[in-house]
Every structure is written in structure tokens, then in C-alpha cells.
Structure 1
Amino acid sequence: MSTEPPETTEDTEPGTPRAADAGDGPADGDAGTGPDTGDRDAGTGTGPGGGTGTGPGGGTGDGDGDRAGQPSEAEAELAAQRVERERIERRRSEREAPIDSGAKLSGTAADLLAAVRAVEGGAKPAATVFGEPEPPRRPAPEPVRRPRAEPGAPAATAPETVEAVRRALADGGAPEALAPQVAALFGEGAADLLRGDPWQLLRVAGVRPDQADGFARALLGAECGPDDERRGRAVTVWLLEQAALAGHTALEMPALTAALAGQGVPDPGEAVQHALAEGDALAFQDALDEPGAPAARGEEEESGQEAERPVRVLVGLERYALAEESLADALARLVNSAPRQDGSAEDWERAAAGADSAADLIRAVAANGLVLHTGGEASRAEPAALLRTARGLGLRAWAATHSALGRTRFGALLAASGGPEPEAAPAVATLAGLLSGSEGPGRDADGALDLDLLVVLDAPQLDVESAALLAESLPDGARLVLAGDPGVLWSAGPGRVFADLLTARACPQIASRCPDPGPLGELVSGVGVGELNQVEAPGKEIVIVPVRDAGEAVHRTVQLVADSVPRAIGVPAEQTQVITPGHGGAAGTRALNAALKERLNPGPGRFGGFDPGDRVAHSPAPGRTVLGQVVKADAAGLHLSCGGEAVVVPKDRVEQSVRHGWALTAHQAAGGRWPAVVAVLPGDAVQALSRPWVYTAFGLAERHLSVVQGVEQALPRAVAEVPAKPRTTRLPALLAPQVPPTA
């Protein structure tokens, strides 16, 4: 493993840290997918290098007007940029009028509006109750999957309703700019609802209990108190929503009551009961099997006496409770039903006999409706072989990936290995496209997916709601294969579906024996078992760049992407991806993207902070990220090219759903792989380190990994000692009565 940059320059002095110090890895709780308003001013940066530079490859040609020999359109574009530079701020203010009005606020109202805008842009609420300890910097948030409609989406709210809400907000000292969002959330009677129960403001994403308390005091006066039943119910729901953002589908009663006490609720138990009585939450009792429980039940049957079994009491929001129960029922249907007889047993066995490492997977799928497949990047060859086999036997077989990048990679793997036939292609879709109907086989007359076999890659990224919708969409007799690497970060949304199924042992599990090759494969495999090993990297596949502070981390990252990696490794800047713990901080995605834009595609950001040629991360829905490049902007919105597809983001959605994409968090990058990766781990990220983050970030590199790190010995300690943060879910308990565990 090399301990100096690919090509030593004045920006990268050689270092001699132990190889075990190479790496990076903040926790999964510190990775986000939602956009952030901080990127709006990313037209200039703090990175080194001159203010000029060519744009990323594959652009539209109008991203850099400083290059000689540009066509006349590019020259005209540059001239237009100069003319528009003085009017950029005015255009932004017109586009962001609600934000401008909020900018005039001060004190509590300004803080409240800032918190709401931060969450709308992808930031975690300031009062994170169930998350991991934050590093001593502005935290880089976990992806926000809000358990409510996206703000601003419903645009048909009656003007009189919005005006009534505006007056109620003003009377309570809250920013009036929230009126459209609140009106869309609560509907026609929103103003009366707020005046009667001011703590309902907590349902607005980004609002904290202390802010809702201030709003309630202003409206209710002496009637307002911490023991108010309305406050207890609202805080209970808010805490359950915070738990969902941290990945839990429910909370155990002791954890919930302790959190309520921490929020100043005098009688937490009573507050929970009020929330349950009003239907704001649901309670469950899940039986716990202690060691020896099966034997004890056998003794009960012989004696005819029924002994009490231990249970745990959980409280959750209805949407996640119903999704988890629906998922358990759908999976039990797959497990307990005989798969459709497509091809004889002899045909399946003949195909398995000639499939090398995929033989066990093919045999398991032949006889079962649900199969789990585990392994790293190299193991994808086995689902590819399964898909070819199934197509050859006449099955309508498809694969689904988490991202468009994953779809492209798996499609290339299929093509390189000789299948499926061109007339049957494409046989790969993104999961979102498959469920929406924009990709894949479509649905049959009964509304089920029109297929016989579905192979889902990147299965650890399945949250409980997506997984429930997917399982419900499969027809009777279909086969489902969930494939993925159990060591990577879990889903951005609530649940840990793949890990829960592995734990429940409800179906056959096939572990791949295909190791990832080369020094990178050796490094990542070691991290997966808790060891940060020294790895020989004669071709500079792994490089350590020690840094003293965040500013130096940004400086050296820009130098690596723009100079050293292209010259020494042969990977151009547009094929190099920067991965960092989160969006905030001096070396988060905002700071890195600003510096990389200045070096790689400088411009005034005349289109809401963006210019043609900018690399971007588009979040069309919470928890989803699509990578692309800016093409142009017009009255219709911002035009992007995402995986070869044209996407138009409406003008009023750009700020909330688009950020620059030269630097991503690990959750944003999940499902993708790049020829070169620069993993940035500044010293202030020590508290966010975990094995899953390191494993995920390092595993994104195909040929080369540069690690810009200042955490020193905290890294190997985290890899050895900090596993994935637990999530409270009900799926194993729901499956247990319906599906007997396999051997």
C-alpha cells in the first residue's frame, strides 16, 4: 500500500503512516441523500488551483467558456454569463421569495425557518434523539426520509387557506413563509387546527419541540404548559418520526418514555397512552424467544399448561407498522408457495451443473420462492448466471438495482457474459423504475409485475416501505432473489430488511465464494471482518494522503481529482468520485463541491447555483439519489442528463432536490462504483467512524483508492470495534409464526 499520492507534487508531501491508518469511515448515520441549500452558492470555492479548468467529460460543451476554439454558442453563453452576473442575486430572490421574506426575521422565528429549510434541503433536524453521537462540527446528516409529503409538492391549496395559516403563524411568532407548506400539510382547516393545537407545528419537517413550545406560548398564553395533553401527544409522534429517520420502524416502550422524559414531558406513560387513544401511534406486543424456549414450549404441550412468554412492547407510526406487516405477509406467501413449474427439474439441474460458482444459487432458486444471496462485487457474476439460466429456460426473468449506475454495470456484466438475448433486453431496471412502471416488464391484468423471476441487487438498500411494495407486487408462483453485501450501509429509510431476513433464516441463504480480486478486494475483505490490514499495492491501487486539518483535506482532494490521479493512474476527473462523511463541516460535500467546481467547471452559477457541465446529485424522492450533469436551464426548469436520460427539474424544486455531485456521501453513492475514488476523512469525523461506512466507501473503487485522512489511529479502532448501529424492527418477529426457520 502506497503512503504517498499517485504523483508527488507540492500539494502532496510523502508520508509514512502505518498502512493500517489508510482509510476513512464515518458512521452510516452521518450520510445523507437530500439536497441542501448550502450548495446554492457553490459557484466559487476554497480549493487550490487556478480559477479555470475544463469541465467534466461527457458534458454539453457549454460549461467552460474560457477554452479556446469554442463554437460561437459557447462564446455567446460566456457573454451572457457576464451580463447576468450582476443580476444573479435578483433572480435568486425572485425564485426564492419565501426564503427572502424569512431572511428578514430574527430571533426564534428566524431559527425556526432556518431549521425547516435545512430539513427540506436534506439536513437532519437539530434535535436528533435516536442518532449516533455527532462529530464536533456541523453534522453531516443522515438521509432525510420524511414521514410526510414533500413540502411544496401540493400547489393547489386555496389562497384563502394559505392566508389564514399565514396570520396564525404570524400571531404565534413563526415565520409566515411556512404558510404554503403548513396549508398543504393540514388542508382546509389548517389555521383553526394550529390555533387549537399549536404543537401540531411539530409535524412540519425541521421544527423542534422547543420551537413549537414558543409558538404555543405565543398563541395560548397562560394556558400553555409542559403537562398539556396536546404537547405530550405531539412530542410522542415527533419522537417516533425522529426514530424513523434513524432507521427504526418502531421503538421499545422504555426507550420512548425515556426520550419523552428528556423532552420535558412530566408523565411519559400517559403521553403515550393519549397518542395511542387518538390513533397517532400504534402499540404492539412481540413475543421473545429466550434460550431454551422451544424445549419449554414442548414441556407445556405435554403438561397441558400454558406458561407466560416474555414479550416486548413497541410503539410505532402506522405507515411503518403496516408496511412491515404487509412485507412479512408477502414474504411468507413466497416462502410457503410452490414456485411456478417453468422447466423440468432435470433442466434446472443440467443448467446448475454447468454454472460453476452459481450452481448452488441456481439449485436453490429452482426449488424455492425466496432466496438470499450474499457476497461482494465479484459475486454479481452469480446472479448474472442465474438470470441467463432462467431466460434460457423460458422464464420472464428481470434484475433490479438500487441506482442507474448499478443498472448500467449489471447490464454490462450480462452483455459481457453472453446474455440475455438482444430481443429480450433490457433485462435490468432500477428498483424505483420497476415499481413506478417506467422500467421493466410492466404489470399484468391483476396489477402484479409481469415476470416469473426477479433478482434484486443491492438488497441492503431496501427500506421497509419499498420492500413491502415490491413483495406485494410479485405474482403467485414468482421467485424472488435478494442479493447484496451484508457489510455495507443499511437503507436510508427505516428498516433493515436484508439483515432481518438473514437473521430470521426464513429461506435458503447462498453465500458466494467469489472473492473480490486485487489489493482493493483484499483491503475491503479485511474491513468486512473488522481488520484494517496492510496491503501491498505495487500499482498504487491504494494511496494514503495524511492531512493535518480540514482545509488541507479540501486542498489535497482537489489536487488528486484534477491532477494526480489523471496523470499517475490514468483515470480522468469525470471518472473519479469523492466520498466524504456528510454534507456539513469544513470538509463536507458542500465545501468539497465548491472547491471542485471552481477547479473543474468554474462559472457564476447562473442557474440557481449551477452551470452547464456541473456534476449533480438529483434527489427526486427522499432516500433516492440519481447522478447526472447539468445540460441547460430554461423556463421549464433545470435540464439534466442522468444515466443517458433527460430529466427536467422544475424551477421551484431545484433548491430542494439538486446539489452538486463531485463529492457525495456514502449513502448517496450506494449502488455505484467508479474507476477511482477519493475518500475524505477529516480529523473531526472521529465520532462518526464505523465499520460499515469504511467498508462501503472503500468498496466503491474499482481500480484506485486515495484516502485523504486525518483521524490516525481512530480508524483501525473503529473498523475493529464499531459495527452497524442497531435498528429496532419487527420483521423477524412477524415472520416467525408464518415461516419456520431453515436449517
Structure 2
Amino acid sequence: MSTEPDSSDDTENTGPGTPDGDDSAPAATGSESEETAAAPAAEGGSTGGEAAAQVTEAQAELAAQKLERERIERRKADKAGPIDSGAKLSGTAADLLAAVRAVESGARPAATVFSAPEPPRRLAAPEPVPRPQPVPAGTPAAPPAPAQETVAAVRRVLTDGGAPEALAPQVAGALGEGAEDLLREDPWQLLRVTGVRPEQADGFARALLGAECAPDDERRGRALTVWLLEQAALAGHTALELPALTAALAQRSVPDADEAVQSALAEGEALAFQDAVEEPGTPPSEGGTEEAEGDRPVRVLIGLERYALAEESLADGLARIVNSLAKEAATGAGWESAAASASGSAAELIRAVAGHGLVLHTGGEAARTEPVALLTAARSLDLRAVAACHTPDGRDRVAARAGEADSAVTVHGLLAGTEGPGRDADGALALDLLIVPDAPRLDVESAAMVVESLPDGARLVLSGDPAQLWSAGPGRVFADLLAARVCPQIASRTPDPGPLGELLSGIGIGELNQVEAPGKELVIVPVRDAAEAVHRTLQLVLESVPRAFGVEPGRTVVITPGHGGAAGTRALNAALKERLNPGPGRFGGFDPGDVVAHSAAPGRTVLGRVEKADADGLHLSCAGAPVVVPKERVEQSVRHGWALTAHQAVGSRWPAAVVVLPGDAAQALSRPWVYTAFGRAERHLSVVHGVEQALARAVAEVPAKPRTTRLPVLLRTQVPPAG
């Protein structure tokens, strides 16, 4: 490794850093995912406003997702019969308490606790509902803004409770019609607004209820239960184990945590499940029957309905894909001919896809050529095949390798109907094969949308690097599928080349190795403090990298663990803007020419450039497409984009990358974070190093934070193990 000389310029140190939330948020805490950075702050900032009349791509996607979720809910409501392992639970408070005691003591809960099916809470659909159709251009897709009289009424309640009036549009939107009465009856409903903290809701409740406000109020316990489950989802969990949830409630001064959970279940605000626990050395159960699970321990889980439905729908859809591929589909000579023309792992992948509806493929950056070879082979066989990537950069790279512009799309564009082949008469995607690179980025809801949109008989290939960061949203779909072993898994044998490839290979197995970099592909820049880190970053981006590698400053990405702090994205972007595109920032801090990161939806960041600003909002060019962000949404969804977090950068690559590790970021580092950040560089990587031994320790000792999910259990009941 090379070491660049020190520098002496100073930059103001403004305080301690804030770690990237998605890496550091523990289960059932208030930490916020970094991909939800667009969410409003709870401290009184105004973030409401009317939706723009013009339909955006994000609105089209949200509308399509809403239609799909409604279809899933109606289908689930139609299900009847006995509840197998993992199904919804119901019962009295005494039953739940008995289950709690049984779980805490290590015994299996009595079967009667979970045997009674829950009465259906959703109306059954009168007839089958087709898959969602893409939203036509010009159709208003965004939900209507709350009525002005509702907002005014909510504002009065907020004033009476000492809460910021600026929250009124958000509260009215979250609680809907009658929000004023609901808020007066149950002040803790304020927790439904993104960013509001329990202590703020408690203060609001005390102001409204006076002496009636108490820690043991049933309304408080119920609201905190839902809030904790939402916070767990931000940390990646689709459900929480019951002991973990009750312990978190106790930490929030809820006197009877079990009663609070039961209240949330009785009101339908949460669902309970029992899942069989597979013990080491015990063969997995087949078919998910009660007899097979009778002697197995179980765990009690509590989760929100939206993620439960998504996870169940995903398991159903994957089982359908595995079982619906016609046997004759694999007998064609074309597949074998295509495999014979390929070599190594690419040939294995083509043969696996020929005979299976679902296939997993793992590998690093160089291994991306193998799904592209599969894509080319399938299209040569006149199959309707596309690759759905998570970023426009990933889409463009796949299309360039395949040599066909229409061979690759983005996931959100495919689901929204703005990219790809469209849908057939039944609402299914008109595809025979869908390949999803960067599959670890799929959260449980987007994965369910993708799978439910595929027609019977279609093939699905999920490809990705398991060492990278997981999804910003809840779930760990790719990791769960790899662990479940319900389909063929093809591990690439194509290594990433050069010193950077060697470095990443070591990090992936927990080793931070010294590598030879004769062409200065890797440079370590030691710094003493955050001020020096900012200065050295500017020097690298503006001078050293352009001089040594001919990479323009705008083509070098800066990656740091968090948004806040003296060397976070905010501070770095401010310094980079001053040098690269100085201006007064007349529109929310932005000027024409600014590089920005636009988060149209949580978990999806698209890079772009500011074109202009007018009464309609901030006009951006993102991946060559015009985007207009309404002025009331700019503060929430647009950041400067010269410096990014690893979660914002994943899925894209740049000719050069500068990874900034200030001393206060040591606690935010993990092996997946380091692997992902270092892997954004194609030709050159500079590491501004201020964490001393914490970097090597993170690579060796800090794996991905565990996430609680139900997908493996659901798959075991529906799909037999492969092979």
C-alpha cells in the first residue's frame, strides 16, 4: 500500500460524527435507517404539503405497490382452514402470558395457546383480483393531501398539547379523517408520525390528559408496542421475538409489557406467530405438519401486518416459481447448446436455469459477466428475458455488457411499468426469465412485489455478493434463501482482478491484508482528526486523483459512514460544493450544477444533477431523465451527492473512490460496510484513515448485524430442500 504525504491546512471541526443508521440501529430502538434520511425530524420542522399534480416515476411505483399489497391482503383473507406453524395467533391475555412463561422457561408452549384460529379481520374479495397494471401516464398516483379543515383542526390539538404546529399536515395524513378526535382520545397516536419520539408523545399526552396521563395507560402501551416494531423494521427485522419486545417495553417504563402486547394484538395492530426452531443436528421438518413439529421447540414472534403479509406472499410466490416450471421447458436442445458455448461458472448457471424455476448465483464484481452471459443466451433462444438492477448505473453496465439497450431495467422501473416489457392481460410481467443482480438489496416488500408479478412458468435468478450490505428495508431475502437451500446455488469461480480485487477478497473472509499496489491502485492517507480528514479528502478529489489517474473530480465518489459530524456527508458535501460548484444555494441550499442524491422512496437513492428551480420545484436530471421535486419535498428527499454513505452508494461504481474514516466513526464500522465501501472503486481507492486499529478489528470481528425474519420457516413449510 502507498501512503500519501500529510497536509497542514485546517478545516473547522463541528462535532462528533453520526454513524450510518442502517449499520448501527439496534433492534427495537430509536435509531433510524440511513436510507430514511429523507424522513422528517420530530423536532418541529414542516414537511407536509400538497402533492404535485404531475405524476412522477416514484408516484407510479408507489401506486403499483399499493395495488399489489391490496391484492395480497385480499388473497390472504380468503385463506381458510387450520393454522399451521407460523400462522396468526389469537387468544386471551392469560393464554399469551402462559406462552410467555413457557418460552422464557425453555419449554414448549401448550398447543391450546396457538390452536384457535383468529377471526378474519379483512373482508374477503368477492372475486379474484388480477395483478396490478402499470399506472398510465397522467393518472394522479399520489394519495390526496389531507383536507385543509382537517389540518387546521389537528393544528389546534397540537397547540393545546404543546407540539409543533408544523406537524399538522403529517399528523392529518397519518391519522386520516377524524384525526382531531382520535388525537384527543389517544394522544399517543402522535407516535404514528415518522420521527416522533416516545418522550415527545408522553409530553404531548400529559399536556392534553393532565392527571389522567399515566405510564400504565393501555393506550400508551399499545402505541409503544407498534412504535417499537416500526423501529425494529428500520433496523431490518420483519418481526421481534416476544421476550425482546417485552424487554424493550419495560425499558420504556411500561409496567405490564405482556398486557401491552396483548392489547396491540387484540386491536389488530400487530400479529403473533409461533415458529418452530430448528436445533443443530436436527433434520428439517417436511411439509410443516403439526406432527412433524410436535417435539420441536418454538419461538413466539410479534410483527406488523404489512411485513407479515409481504413475507408470506414472498414465500408463496417462491414456492409457485419453484413448482410451476414445466418439465418440458428444460428439454430443449437450445439450453444445452448455450451452456456448451459458455465456460466455467457461466455454463453451470445456464444449465441450472434450464431445469429450475429459481436459481441463486453468488460472486463479486467480476462474476457479473455470468448473469450477463445467461441473459444473452436466453434472449438468443427467443425468451423474454431482462435483468432488473437496483440503480441506473447497474442497469447501464449490464446493458452495455449484453450489447442490447432493452436487456436491462431498474427494479422500481419494472414494477412501476415505466421500464421493461410491460404486463400481460392478467397483470403479470411479460417475461420468461428475470435476473436480479445485487439481490442482497431486495427487502421483503420489494421482493414480494417482484415474485408476485412473475407469471407461472417464468424463471427467476437472484444474483449478488453475499458479503455486501443487506437491504435498507426490513428482511434479508437473499441471505435467507441461501440458508434455506430450496434451489440450486451457483457460486462463481471468477475472482475480482488486481490489487483491489485481492483486498476485497480478504475483507470478505474477515482479513484486512496488505496488498501490493505498484500502480497506486490503493493509497492509505492517515489523519489525526476530522478537520484534517476533510482537508485531505478535498486534496485527493481535486488534485491528487485527477493528476495521477486523469479522473475528473465529479467522477470520484466520497464515502463516509454517516451524514452528521465534522466529517460526515453534510460537512464533506459543503466543502466539496464550495470548491466544485460555489453558489448562494437560493433554493433549499442548491444551485444549478450541484450533484445531488435523490431519495424518491426509502431505500432507493438515485444520483443526479440540479438543472434549475422554479415555482414547480427543484428540477433534476437523474440518469438522463428529468425529475421535478416539489419544493415542500426538497428538504426531505434531496441531499448533495458528492459524498455518500455506503448504503447510498451500493449498486453503483466509480473510476475512483475516497473512503473517509474519521475517528468518531469507529463504532459504525462492520465487515459488510467496509467491503461495500471499498468495492465502489474501479481503478483507484484512497482510504482517509483516522480509526487506527478499529478498521482491522471491524473487518475481523464485526459481521452483519443479525436480523429476525420468518422467511426460512415459511419456506420450509412450502418448498422441499433442493437436492
Query: Does TM, scored on the shorter chain, surpass 0.5?
Result: yes
How far apart are 1:339 and its partner, in Å? 4.4
Closer/same/farther in 2, CA of residues 392 and 662 from structure 1, 3 Å limit: same
1:178 corresponds in structure 2 to: 167
* 2:343 match: 356
Is the Cα contact below 8 Å between 2:46 and 2:167 reproduced in 1?
A: no
SS at match of 1:426: helix
1:335 to 322, 341, 345: 322
Matching residue's letter, 2:3: T
User: 1:26, 1:445 → 2: CA distance?
Assistant: 42
Q: Distance in 1 between matches of 2:185 and 2:471?
A: 38
> Structure 1, unaligned stretches of length 5 or more?
13-23, 38-98, 100-109, 118-152
Shift, 1:656, TM fit = 1.1
Q: Distance in 2 between matches of 1:305 and 1:468?
A: 28
TM-score, with structure 1 as normaliser: 0.80
The Cα of 1:28 is off from its aligned counterpart by 2.5
Alignment partner, residue 93 of structure 1: none
Q: Does 2:461 match 1:481?
A: yes
1:694 — aligned with what?
Answer: 674
Instruction: Tell me the equivalent position of 1:217.
Output: 206
- TM-aligned CA distance change 1:158 to 1:397, over 3 Å: same
Quick one: which amino acid aligns to residue 3 of structure 1?
T
The worse-fitting range, judged by mean Cα deviation, of 392-401 and 287-296 is 287-296
- What displacement does 1:114 show? 5.6
Q: What is the distance in 2 between the residues matched to 1:189 and 1:219?
A: 17
Q: Which residue of 1 aligns with 2:181?
A: 192
Shift in Å at residue 308 of structure 1? 3.0
The code of the aligned residue for 1:739 comes to: V
The structure, 1 or 2, with the larger RCO (C-alpha pairs under 8 Å, 6+ apart) is 1
Preserved contact between residue 35 and residue 659 of structure 1 (Cα < 8 Å):
no
- What TM-score, normalized to structure 2? 0.82
Structure 1 position 402, deviation (Å): 0.6
| Secondary structure in structure 1 of the residue aligned to 2:490 | strand
The residue that corresponds to 2:498 in the other structure is 518
* Stretch of structure 1 that moved more, 607-616 or 321-330: 607-616
Match of 1:630, SS state, is strand
Give 2:611's aligned amino acid.
Answer: V
The corresponding residue for 1:60 is none
Q: Which residue is 1:113 aligned to? A: 44
Report the Cα distance in structure 1 between the residues aligned to 2:293 and 2:264, rounded to whole angstroms.
Answer: 33
Alignment correspondent of 1:288: 277
Aligned to 2:151: 162
Residues 568-577 or 26-35, more deviating = 26-35
Aligned to 1:28: 23
Match of 1:664 in 2: 644
Distance in 2 (alpha carbons) for counterparts of 1:308 and 1:264: 37
1:619 partner SS: strand
Distance in 2 separating the partners of 1:729 and 1:344 = 37
Work out whether residues 26 and 690 of structure 1, in 8 Å CA contact, stay in contact via their aligned partners in 2.
Answer: no
Tell me, yes or no, if structure 1 residue 714 matches structure 2 residue 694.
yes
Q: Which residue of 1 aligns with 2:600?
A: 620
Aligned residues of 1:410 and 1:428 also touching (Cα < 8 A): yes
- Partner amino acid for 2:214? G
CA displacement, residues 87-123 of structure 1 (integer Å, 9 cap, x when unaligned) = xxxxxxxxxxxx9xxxxxxxxxx97426999xxxxxx
Q: Kindly state the Cα deviation for residue 249 of structure 1 after the two structures are TM-superposed.
A: 0.2
Indicate the percent of aligned positions where both proteins have the same amino acid.
75
Question: 1:624-639 to 2 correspondence within 5 Å?
Answer: 624-639=604-619
What aligned pairs does 1:113-132 form with structure 2 within 5 A after superposition? 113=44
Counterparts of 2:181 and 2:646 in 1: how far apart (Å)? 43
C-alpha distance in 1, partners of 2:330/2:714?
33
Q: SS of the counterpart of 1:33?
A: helix
User: Can you list the C-alpha shifts for 1:349-398, whole angstroms capped at 9, x where unaligned?
Assistant: 12101101200000000000000000000001000000010011110010
Q: Tell whether the 8 Å contact from 2:285 to 2:292 is kept in structure 1 after alignment.
A: no
The answer for the alignment partner of 1:95 in structure 2 is none
1:317 equivalent among 278, 287, 304: 304
Do structure 1's residue 641 and structure 2's residue 621 form an aligned pair?
yes
CA contact (8 A) 2:616 2:630 kept: yes
Report if aligned partners of 1:404, 1:430 keep a CA contact under 8 Å in 2.
yes
The one-letter code sitting in structure 2 at the alignment partner of 1:570 is: G
C-alpha deviations, 1:230-266, integer Å up to 9, x for none? Answer: 0000000000000000000000000000000000000
SS at match of 1:605: coil
1:434 aligns with 2:414: yes
Separation in structure 2 between the aligned mates of residue 339 and residue 673 of structure 1, nearest angstrom: 38
Distance 1:112 1:353 in 2: 62
Q: 1:270: which partner in 2?
A: 259
Name the structure 1 match of 2:393. 405
Q: Secondary structure at the match of 2:639?
A: strand
| Contact 2:322-2:356 at 8 Å conserved across structures | yes
Shift of 1:670: 1.1
Contact 1:26/1:694 (<8 A) preserved:
no
How far does the alpha carbon of each residue in 1:320-340 deviate from its partner, in whole angstroms, 9 at most, with x for none?
000000000000111122248
| Matched residue SS, 1:294 | coil
Contact 2:349 2:374 in 1 (8 A): yes
SS in structure 2 of the partner of residue 247 of structure 1: coil
TM-superposed CA distance for 1:4, in Å, is 1.6
- SS of 2:386's partner is strand
Candidates 475, 480, 488, aligned match of 1:508? 488
Unaligned runs of 5+ in 2: 11-18, 26-32, 49-141
Q: Secondary structure at the match of 1:702?
A: strand
CA distance in 2, matches of 1:203, 1:25: 23
The answer to whether the 8 A contact 1:454-1:481 is kept is yes
Q: In the alignment, is the contact (CA less than 8 A) between 1:112 and 1:174 conserved in 2?
A: no
Report if aligned partners of 1:275, 1:281 keep a CA contact under 8 Å in 2. yes
Residue 548 of structure 2, aligned match among 560, 568, 574: 568
Q: Give the Cα–Cα distance (whole angstroms) in 2 for the partners of residues 384 and 295 of structure 1.
A: 35
- Which residue is equivalent to 2:90? none
- Note the C-alpha offset of 1:11: 6.0
Contact 2:42–2:196 (8 Å) recurs in 1: no
Q: Distance in 2 between matches of 1:480 and 1:295?
A: 25
Query: How far has the Cα of 1:10 moved from its partner?
Result: 6.2
Would the aligned equivalents of 2:366 and 2:496 in 1 still touch at CA under 8 Å? yes
- 1:387 aligns to 2:375 (yes or no): yes
- Report the Cα distance in structure 2 between the residues aligned to 1:321 and 1:159, rounded to whole angstroms: 34
SS of the residue corresponding to residue 631 of structure 1 reads: strand
Deviation at 1:543, TM superposition (A): 0.3
Structure 1 Cα separation of the partners of residues 241 and 685 of structure 2: 41
Equivalence for 1:203: 192
Question: Which residues in structure 2 correspond to 1:232-243 (within 5 Å)?
Answer: 232-243=221-232
What number of residue pairs does the alignment pair up? 614
Quick one: which of 572, 579, 583 aligns to 1:603?
583
| Of 407, 426, 434, the match for 1:454 | 434
For the structure 1 residues 691 and 584, does the alpha-carbon distance in structure 2 shift closer, same or farther, using more than 3 Å as the test? same
Query: Aligned to 2:685, what secondary structure does the other structure show?
Result: strand
* 1:593 and 2:573 aligned: yes
Distance 1:497 1:177 in 2: 38
Q: Deviations over 1:179-206 (max 9, x none)?
A: 1111111112000001000011111111
SS at match of 1:535: coil
Please tell me whether residue 679 in structure 1 is matched to residue 666 in structure 2.
Answer: no
Other structure's SS at 1:454 match: strand
CA distance in 1, matches of 2:284, 2:366: 42
One-letter identity of the residue aligned with 1:402: H
